Structure 1
């Protein structure tokens, strides 16, 4: 007989397969939205934004399930929101919630066996058919009776459940009386609010960061303060405008409905390699140079250009803007002219070439000999400390919005760090990314913290391009990327504007102001400035390199200004909260390749007056022609039942028509190329929301 080995310890036990953890609950809850990269960063919203929360949930067999959003606000308040099935057969559930408090929300999604719904479904089929009648009544009574004794429920609700259970159990009552319990709407409503549930399963927790409303809603206007109030001297040269002369333009900016004024860099400009008119290399003594060539003997990024005034003059300008209801955004351009103090004090912050020179900025074929880019891999700690100091300084002066120049040429982790540091200290600060770059990088900047982003809007001009673009902004990237639809910039004058005439300017403004809650205009747009520098997609006599004072009043007096229309757009945006949302845009169709149709809808409970707000935009995107066609609407997308007839008011012309799902339109590019239609939704017909996934 073989000897048994002596045991000196306890043999390892075999894990029980019944105790092994699973990655899903009893009822799986998957594919939560909003979330970013498996909660690597919080999803984004702004105060007042209506956010769709979604999840996929299902179970085996045919029994009903319920799905509930558990949402915890920044103040710790927990609310529960029933989620509804978006499309039968998809197992995709959704609810929309307006997030009003600034800060971090957390949420989980609960899925459960809806025992009440399962019983109602079975009883409604079996009892009328005479199948298992008493058994179904007994199951219902057994289910409802405990709810009648549940002290967590309101007294009236307990009485309702207790009475229903007694009715079901009373075999002496008529069949019709007992059957009425199955379809009792009061019972169904109570069960929906506080379900009769089992097999509770919860998803993982996810986070949504809600920022101030200005982070997601605003109308931006850009001007160069040196051009506002600039006067020509006797020798033909220009005397720069100042912050105090530029303040005179503020009432007109506010009158057009703009509430953010963006200023290109306001710092001293270098002399070395200063650019002349149209980016030439032969600047004259009185040429002002590019504001992006930052730094001179007068100082760097924490200094004011002496010709604009002093820091006190800038504070005067900020106060004047606030008095008009306008916030001021300044440029954060992390680069330097060869004359910047950094070049002498921190040469290690730049790239030194083998011949001993410092590399200047290039974006082939463009060359910027007057600008040195920073090398963020040389002394990253020192660079971070300096930039953090600069941003804190301007916040202290009174600036809370920064338009960031070319952030895609700096490391992504730098922006994640900087914006995170600043927003922890100053959560109201907003950063706009000027990143015309590859989609992954543009979206990456938004994910790591940028509150707003320039987009490809200026290059999306056809109906097909705009449909795809707008739908993607509203539904594919809205959890993290907030578009700022600038119609033009000092660097961008597209062929559409160069050759489209005044109609092109009107069309682009109407689209930008209605498709997204944030949009922007660079000065001169309202004057239809459309002559490009040969070989470039930018204005000739570009304001980046010279003074460009404009006589806005004269142009308006002669009827050659878009300012009245921009003011109308501002008033429309102020009056219609649906336009101050991003995720509520839905594309509709037309029979013409140049007629773009979309709607924006905000359900009644989310509006200030308690009614639904619905608008339809119909735009002729061909600025050269008249187009007639039929537009086709899915009226359920803006809260109306199929087959509805309804009134629409054109907010541009004041005309009123009766519309339905199919409507004839005629849009003349040379008169009124765009309908902005307010749908007069009867209060009795409006629904929670008009979109299904």
Structure 2
């Protein structure tokens, strides 16, 4: 700190400024600090900030908090990708000091003679202030200075113009004793870094033909997978994540359901990367050529999908790295190379990279591989198990890649200890998998999301109900209602969410005794008849499409920091809202987590969080059913998991027609009367 006024605890600051805080273009970033001074003189705080172009942005005046804790608050909205810098500055505000003193003296009945010095000092102060106010306001400020010195006027007339400058001189204050806190860094990504909808599928399963009548199985290709792109785009997803597309090792290849012995037709795990055909910079020949991949990426882009690739830094035993750089791996006492283990699990088809052997060589090779795919148009990478590799390596790699192309994004697939997951976010990972998959009850969801919002300066969550490796117990047994419930929770609590293919078909058969799919697609082809399922009403695709449509249409759902929870008296229900400060767009969600029984609940809404005073009423429009209700702070809600497990409301200040308030039953303010299966209404 340079200057006289103390400034403490500036946020956003990650690890005391060691790492850059994180935001996206257009995000309203809160800035706060604790600052105070001696005596009773007034002071102010402001945010001074610069863009990646080095140009100073207009300073933002901060306001004191309501709790007399000397904490000041403001916000900035960056408008470009890159590295921004900011600092909090504190200053003596002589106008506020003068105004406060004069107001008190006049209210106490003191006259012009007693205020003679104040009037002269005020005039001098306003002459100084006139220099920094906008040109169109200078005459007003100077006229107020003249009025203070005009002894022909009554005292109230002399001081009124000067006292009326409060708003103008709040925005353009006279600043003395200017003190600056240390400079902090804010890295700003493109909006997709925070708001995105992911879909994962295996290209080799799309258009695949299974073995039959002695005929060998035939995997799908990038060309056959093109047919799936319109279906994914129609569900409203914008990121298409592909598991590794590289050659798969033949040595120690795993068979179906992770068996140790592979049959001749077994395709192996895509994460066992590398074979005679090549390694991480090569496409599996069964999927097609480099040109086929480029056509696939271009076709995806045409329907609004950005292709994300898997970055798994490991090797099959027959990966070229093993022969060319055996020092990149760990040699056991018997001379063999150590395969991956997560006891009691063994992965004999995978060799982990040892980053302590030739770190410079490994860094150079991995950077080359990543930039190769960036050159092919890939700007999003889902990183496999980053918590098993050195943190300093990731910190170096991510920012080296961003130096070449700041639009590249990295998703951390790290289901590990909380501190480790947070650490990966701090060092540069754009998004992170989370524990959402295992948070099922409303209380634990509320607590967990509150924790994630508190880490919004550096960690952006991505909520996945399922993955190829994870079929949680509640999806195994909850039936279609649970699939709907988890989709609502994932897509509307978090600005980023994703599903693995088959979720929309309610796939739920586990391998006995495990949270994994039977006949896991990691080890075999799983072609699906998407069109038939949707035609027969066995698909969740229309519901998912509607959720993603609601997400796109409502700016409030694009952010993480604005998540607010509301009280509801049923422990099987969760109520939350998001409000966009700029547009006023507000979404209010009530969701049941019970897939079997009808649930009733009574809300106690935090009205200011919705943009209302405590006594006001408003209209809610259910974006899933089209129904409208008149609501207030207290409302009764009924949710039937087999008809509608959640309300997704947009909130409106005034009803536009008398029928919009029909959702309130007589004698029960804000009662929710859901639509019946035939379009009728249930009666209370």
For the superposition of Structure 1 and Structure 2, which TM-score range results when normalised by the shorter chain? over 0.9
Cα deviation, residue 137, structure 1: 6.6
Pick from 458, 473, 477 the counterpart of residue 480 of structure 1: 458
**Superposition pairs of residues 218-237 of structure 1, within 5 angstroms:** 218-233=196-211, 234-235=213-214, 237=216
Cα deviation, residue 580, structure 1: 0.9
Answer yes or no: is the 8 Å Cα contact 2:5–2:91 preserved in 1. Answer: yes
Q: Counterpart of 2:193?
A: 215
Q: Counterpart of 1:643?
A: 615
Q: Counterpart of 1:403?
A: 382
Answer yes or no: is the 8 Å Cα contact 1:329–1:403 preserved in 2. Answer: yes
Q: Counterpart of 1:571?
A: 549
Q: Counterpart of 1:3?
A: none
Question: Does structure 1 residue 252 correspond to structure 2 residue 224?
Answer: no
User: What is the SS of the residue equivalent to 1:148?
Assistant: helix
User: What is the SS of the residue equivalent to 2:624?
Assistant: coil
Aligned length: 652
Q: Counterpart of 1:450?
A: 429
User: What is the SS of the residue equivalent to 1:261?
Assistant: strand
Q: Counterpart of 1:680?
A: 652
Answer yes or no: is the 8 Å Cα contact 1:138–1:168 preserved in 2. Answer: no
Pick from 477, 480, 489 the counterpart of residue 499 of structure 1: 477
**Once superposed, what is the RMSD of the aligned Cα atoms?**
1.8
The 2-side partners of 1:338 and 1:379 are apart by: 19
Cα deviation, residue 172, structure 1: 3.6
Cα deviation, residue 124, structure 1: 2.9
Pick from 330, 342, 357 the counterpart of residue 351 of structure 1: 330
Cα deviation, residue 593, structure 1: 1.1
Q: Counterpart of 2:272?
A: 293
User: What is the SS of the residue equivalent to 2:37?
Assistant: coil
Cα 1:92–1:385 change in 2 (3 A) is same
Cα 1:662–1:298 change in 2 (3 A) is same
1:461-482 Cα distance to aligned partner (Å, 9 max, x none): 11111111111212x2111111
Cα 1:589–1:386 change in 2 (3 A) is same
User: What is the SS of the residue equivalent to 2:396?
Assistant: helix
Answer yes or no: is the 8 Å Cα contact 2:506–2:539 preserved in 1. Answer: yes
Q: Counterpart of 2:154?
A: 174
TM-score by length of 1: 0.91
1:271-301 Cα distance to aligned partner (Å, 9 max, x none): 1221111111122110111110111111111
Question: Does structure 1 residue 154 correspond to structure 2 residue 128?
Answer: no
The 2-side partners of 1:293 and 1:676 are apart by: 42
Q: Counterpart of 1:317?
A: 296
Question: Does structure 1 residue 164 correspond to structure 2 residue 144?
Answer: yes
**Superposition pairs of residues 547-586 of structure 1, within 5 angstroms:** 547-586=525-564
Cα deviation, residue 495, structure 1: 1.2
The 2-side partners of 1:464 and 1:543 are apart by: 34
Cα deviation, residue 259, structure 1: 0.6
Answer yes or no: is the 8 Å Cα contact 1:614–1:681 preserved in 2. Answer: no
Cα 1:132–1:276 change in 2 (3 A) is farther
The 1-side partners of 2:624 and 2:457 are apart by: 32
Q: Counterpart of 1:620?
A: 592
Answer yes or no: is the 8 Å Cα contact 1:126–1:133 preserved in 2. Answer: no
Question: Does structure 1 residue 375 correspond to structure 2 residue 354?
Answer: yes
Answer yes or no: is the 8 Å Cα contact 2:252–2:260 preserved in 1. Answer: yes
TM-score by length of 2: 0.92
Cα deviation, residue 565, structure 1: 0.8
Q: Counterpart of 1:362?
A: 341
Structure 1 stretch displaced more, 519-528 or 363-372: 363-372
The 2-side partners of 1:55 and 1:473 are apart by: 21
Cα deviation, residue 544, structure 1: 0.4
For structure 1, the residue ranges without an aligned partner over 5 or more in a row are 1-22, 605-610, 684-693
Cα deviation, residue 183, structure 1: 4.9
The 2-side partners of 1:140 and 1:624 are apart by: 75
Pick from 419, 439, 454 the counterpart of residue 398 of structure 2: 419
Answer yes or no: is the 8 Å Cα contact 1:221–1:521 preserved in 2. Answer: yes
Cα 1:449–1:432 change in 2 (3 A) is same
Answer yes or no: is the 8 Å Cα contact 2:22–2:187 preserved in 1. Answer: yes
User: What is the SS of the residue equivalent to 2:203?
Assistant: coil
**Superposition pairs of residues 54-133 of structure 1, within 5 angstroms:** 54-75=32-53, 76-131=55-110
1:45-90 Cα distance to aligned partner (Å, 9 max, x none): 1112121111111112333221111121222132111111232312
The 2-side partners of 1:135 and 1:555 are apart by: 87
Q: Counterpart of 2:524?
A: 546
The 1-side partners of 2:577 and 2:323 are apart by: 56
Cα deviation, residue 531, structure 1: 1.4
Cα deviation, residue 97, structure 1: 2.2
Cα 1:65–1:297 change in 2 (3 A) is same
The 1-side partners of 2:390 and 2:279 are apart by: 22
Question: Does structure 1 residue 517 correspond to structure 2 residue 495?
Answer: yes
Pick from 8, 23, 31 the counterpart of residue 9 of structure 2: 31
The 1-side partners of 2:588 and 2:639 are apart by: 14
Structure 1 stretch displaced more, 272-281 or 164-173: 164-173
User: What is the SS of the residue equivalent to 2:421?
Assistant: helix
Cα 1:667–1:137 change in 2 (3 A) is farther
Answer yes or no: is the 8 Å Cα contact 2:603–2:636 preserved in 1. Answer: yes
Question: Does structure 1 residue 194 correspond to structure 2 residue 172?
Answer: yes
